[in-house]
């Protein structure tokens, strides 16, 4: 894919030795050539990693110069030493990039409960800072540098025109396991060169995350390190976007974040299917989201999809225990375009044909229709496989 790298950013990704494979970058730098606007949305887990505490205290801001990420070690559950190591990462990065530590945001991902190998990290940051560039190759290396159990980098990019002004947006994300956001392990960085202020950036990002990264699930486990950042260089110049223009930018950012968010459950550990869940006809969006999330997190629904079993009972019963009142006699379920359940009872359908449609396609589509109102929600999940169990039984936390 073409990468539309926003003006005003330089990037790098290098291997410093946290990961065993020397071909896999484990330090990533995103450097703004001038102070940038930054906003963040973070995990709601009460057990949080040191970099989350740091970034929460430093966003929103209009003076951020660098985002530094290490992968392979989450710096989570590491106590006071972890916080000191995080601050040291910021200081090392600041010195290497010519700014202050308070102008640096930090992200970490990987194994929890182990202290950072600071000598390796310092070496990697210095190398990355010396080799950063504003091109597609360095963007890809930076995107690879934030990965852990991911099969490949997760990237997206858009170019948009707003009132004859052209802006670029691009993003990178990581995540394949511990995905159950309340904003999952997942990291994301969105870059743009559109001129917006820090309050606009924070409001935009918070709204977008609700409908994208907060609507994905692999196993429903909310991580200690979840972080999504939005950085705006404003390097394309011109006046700050007005409300109508900001709405256009927000739509574009959301569309791109949908692409990134879907890549996470699609790459879920051991996953063989991406499940798209649409819930329609709810009284409120919150109700629709509760039902969609309950279906998405159901181990029985996930295993049915993996086995190609059009098991309507697992899906409608999950909707029923979501804690949302609705008239069950008006519930409908459509799976991969075939009606399975209507007016509170199953209908005749070709089970073999629907099963084949599930087995033959990577994506399975579940549509639940209620009769309570007009609110709708779309959610994405992965199936649950033997390989997921095997991987996480062997993975050291």
Of 43, 69, 149, 185, the catalytic one is 185
Active site residue 239: no
Q: Which residues pair with 128 in a beta bridge?
A: none
Which secondary structure element, helix H or strand E, spans residue 377, and what is its range?
Answer: strand 375-382
C-alpha closest to that of 158 among 200, 193, 133: 193
- CA dist 288 and 375 (Å) reads 7
What distances in angstroms separate CA 325 from CA 38, 127, 288, 290, 343, one per listed residue?
40, 57, 11, 11, 16
Structure tokens at 322: 């979501």
What is the CB neighbour count within 10 angstroms for residue 363? 13
Q: Is 222 helix (H, G, I), strand (E, B) or coil?
A: coil
What is the CB neighbour count within 10 angstroms for residue 31? 26
Ordered DSSP codes for 295-354 = HHH-HHHHHHHHTT---HHHHHHHHHTSS----GGG-EEEETTEEEEETTEE----HHHH
C-alpha closest to that of 173 among 194, 192, 152, 158: 152
Which secondary structure element, helix H or strand E, spans residue 181, and what is its range?
Answer: none
Catalytically annotated residues? 185
């Amino acid at each position: 894919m073409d990468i539309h790298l926003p003006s005003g950013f330089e990037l790098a990704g290098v291997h410093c030795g946290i990961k065993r494979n020397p071909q896999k970058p484990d330090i990533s730098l995103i450097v703004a050539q001038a102070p940038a606007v930054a906003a963040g949305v973070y995990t709601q887990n009460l057990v949080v990693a040191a970099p989350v505490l740091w970034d929460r205290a430093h966003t929103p801001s209009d003076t951020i110069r660098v985002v530094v990420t290490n992968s392979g070690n989450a710096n989570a559950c590491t106590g006071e030493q972890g916080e000191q190591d995080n601050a040291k990462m910021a200081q090392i990065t600041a010195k290497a990039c010519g700014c202050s530590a308070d102008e640096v945001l930090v992200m970490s991902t990987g194994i929890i409960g182990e202290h950072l190998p600071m000598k390796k990290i310092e070496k990697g940051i210095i190398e990355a800072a010396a080799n950063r560039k504003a091109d597609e190759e360095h963007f890809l290396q930076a995107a690879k540098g934030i990965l852990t159990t991911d099969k490949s980098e997760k990237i997206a990019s858009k170019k948009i025109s707003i009132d004859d002004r052209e802006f670029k947006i691009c993003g990178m994300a990581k995540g394949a396991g511990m995905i159950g956001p309340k904003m999952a392990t997942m990291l994301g960085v969105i870059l743009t060169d559109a001129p917006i202020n820090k309050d606009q950036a924070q409001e935009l990002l918070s709204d977008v995350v609700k409908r994208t990264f907060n609507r994905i699930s692999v196993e429903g486990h909310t991580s200690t390190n979840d972080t999504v950042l939005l950085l705006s260089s404003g390097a394309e110049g011109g006046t700050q976007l007005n409300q109508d223009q900001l709405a256009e930018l927000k739509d574009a950012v959301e569309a791109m974040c949908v692409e990134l968010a879907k890549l996470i459950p699609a790459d879920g550990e051991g996953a063989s299917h991406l499940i798209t869940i649409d819930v329609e006809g709810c009284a409120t969006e919150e109700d629709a989201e509760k039902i969609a999330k309950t279906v998405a997190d159901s181990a029985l629904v996930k295993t049915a999809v993996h086995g190609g079993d059009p098991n309507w009972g697992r899906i409608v019963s999950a909707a029923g225990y979501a804690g949302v009142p609705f008239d069950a006699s008006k519930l409908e379920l459509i799976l991969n375009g075939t009606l399975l359940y209507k007016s509170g009872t199953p209908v005749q359908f070709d089970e073999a044909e629907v099963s084949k449609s599930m087995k033959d396609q990577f994506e399975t589509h579940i549509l639940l229709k209620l009769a309570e109102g007009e609110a709708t929600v779309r959610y994405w999940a992965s199936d649950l496989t033997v390989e997921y169990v095997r991987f996480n039984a062997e993975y050291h936390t």
